[in-house]
Amino acid sequence: MKTILIRKVMGETLRELRMCAGMTLREVSMASMVSLGYLSEIERGHKEASSEVLFAIASALDVSLSDLMITISGKLAAIEAERMPRVAVAA
């Protein structure tokens, strides 16, 4: 079974939020004070961001950190549900 990488889901989610906000990587980079290269690496799921960096990026995207984490948690739950076999529970 392939490992679920939280950094991949995090990066995809941040990219989706950025695009929905109509912002470029450069705009988010400037607003969050996160380097353009590092932000790109985070979005591609190649780097893991600290909580401080995630807060800065979420703020730049006008999203609360808690809402970001809830969204990511929902996506992870959906991936897990897709991969886990259903087991019938006897009553």
* Domains and their CATH numbers in the chain: 17-81 (1.10.260.40)
pLDDT at site 5: 87
Taking only the tens place, the pLDDT of each residue in 28-55 is 999 999 999 999 999 999 999 999 999 9
Number of separate helices (H) and strands (E) present in the chain: 5, 0
pLDDT at site 11: 97
- Whole-model pTM: value is 0.86
Helix (H) or strand (E) holding 15: helix 6-20
pLDDT at 88 over 70: no
CA distance 84 to 86: 6
